[in-house]
Structure 1
Amino acid sequence: MERKSVTISYLELKRGQNPQGMSVDIEGLHIKQLTIPCPAFNYFMYRAVGGEWFWIDKLNWSEKEWQNYVERDNLQTWGAWQHGAPCGYFELEQREAETTEIAYFGILKQFSGCGLGKTILLEALTIAGKEGQQRVTVNTCSLDHPAALANYLARGMTIYYEETIEKSLPNITPAFWPG
């Protein structure tokens, strides 16, 4: 394990602010809510999307822990598919009475760079804002994809807090594929 300084940016989109940008019409893209909790889907996406970016907090969770996590009433999981292949996902978590957090958001590596991040984030912000929430929040850090913060800012979100912490990280990324 190595210690690394990590900057975390906390962002919000307040009620009355509309997400910025036009979604790109991407052929074959479908975004659907998983109305049946599926721990294997969340686990797969967490590992496949986040492995390269040191998403490590839930790596050692058991199936039961994942099941308890996804079955909570305050969590929605949304999947994105392009031509039937999973390409990304997001989790919306009701935090406070009038705040929805985008708890996780990401695109599979092979689908990066074609406008999916922008389009799926716009959908996530629109869905989260439909519940009459006062604000939608998300956080990103210096370990995440280099375009993550810029994407959130380009959609109209603003940084309301930043901090730098020391975090213990594995010496290599916990990538989805071994080697």
Structure 2
Amino acid sequence: MSTTKTFTPSGYSHVQPGHIASVVTCLEMTENPDAAEPSFAGDIRLDRVEKPNLEAYRTLYRKIGAEWLWFSRLIISDEKLASIIGHEDVEVYVLRDGQQDIGLMELDFRQPNECELVFLGLTEEVTGKGLGRALMNATLKRAWQRDIQRLHLHTCTLDHPSALGFYLRSGFRPYAFQVETQADPRLTGHLPLTAAPHVPLIQPQQQKG
């Protein structure tokens, strides 16, 4: 079955008041890169969490993603979130330092022969210490343990500025651009108004025609 695609017209397009826009880069790899074995120092370990507690999941999700306006897991209902992260073909992993949750990795195998790397992130206090590479190596090992032909993900211009380069160095290759618009999660109350100060916060009444 074919899917009709709509394309953003050339030139500038207005964004609806109260919304934000980002350019999304879609990336994929179609061969097992035979990544190095992941190595975590000290008390750091990567645990798979089956049927995660929704409150704990969202707490870690916010802690990692608020700075980059992650919102997708905040705007859906508890029932919808539980049906996703509790699915037998969705694997949620939490990176822990002792009893402290410091990272999240989520793999979605629900499409035949494919895996989507849905989320990969670290909390601010451990970013830049080399854990990202070890976490990516663990991601690649676990994803390609399954009988897949493609591993894919997307990142956007709201994400960490080094994210795209990191994915490219990890062996992913871009194959498409998309433009995403969404109600600003800071204005809907899903994230605090102080989140992501690098992204301008424009109240609807500030917008001028």
Q: Any idea what SS the aligned residue of 2:134 has?
A: helix
For residues 110 and 70 of structure 1, the distance between their equivalents in structure 2, rounded to whole angstroms, comes to 26
Q: Quick check: 1:119 aligned with 2:119?
A: no
Partner of 1:75: 90
Deviations 1:31-85 (A, max 9, x none): 0111343323321222111111111223244433332222222211001012331
By how many angstroms is 1:89 displaced?
0.9
Percentage of pairs with the same residue: 21
Partner of 1:158: 173
Aligned partners of 2:20 and 2:183 also within 8 Å? yes
Query: 1:129–1:151: structure 2 CA closer, same or farther, 3 Å change rule?
Result: same
Partner of 2:108: 93
Partner of 1:45: 60
The amino acid across from 1:7 in the alignment is V
Partner of 2:191: 174
TM-score (norm 1): 0.84
Query: 1:70–1:165: structure 2 CA closer, same or farther, 3 Å change rule?
Result: closer
By how many angstroms is 1:2 displaced?
4.0
By how many angstroms is 1:166 displaced?
4.0
Residues 126-141 of structure 1 correspond to what in structure 2 (within 5 A)?
126-141=141-156
Aligned partners of 2:49 and 2:92 also within 8 Å? yes
Aligned length: 178
User: Higher relative contact order at CA 8 Å, sep ≥6: structure 1 or structure 2?
Assistant: 1
TM-score (norm 2): 0.73
Aligned partners of 2:51 and 2:82 also within 8 Å? no
Partner of 1:9: 25
Deviations 1:116-141 (A, max 9, x none): 11111111111001112111111110
- Structure 2 stretches lacking a partner, 5+ long: 1-16, 196-209
For residues 2 and 36 of structure 1, the distance between their equivalents in structure 2, rounded to whole angstroms, comes to 34
Determine which structure has more spread, i.e. the larger CA radius of gyration.
2
By how many angstroms is 1:151 displaced?
1.3
For residues 147 and 98 of structure 1, the distance between their equivalents in structure 2, rounded to whole angstroms, comes to 29
- Structure 1 stretches lacking a partner, 5+ long: none
The amino acid across from 1:93 in the alignment is D
- Going by fraction, where is strand more abundant, 1 or 2? 1
The amino acid across from 2:29 in the alignment is L
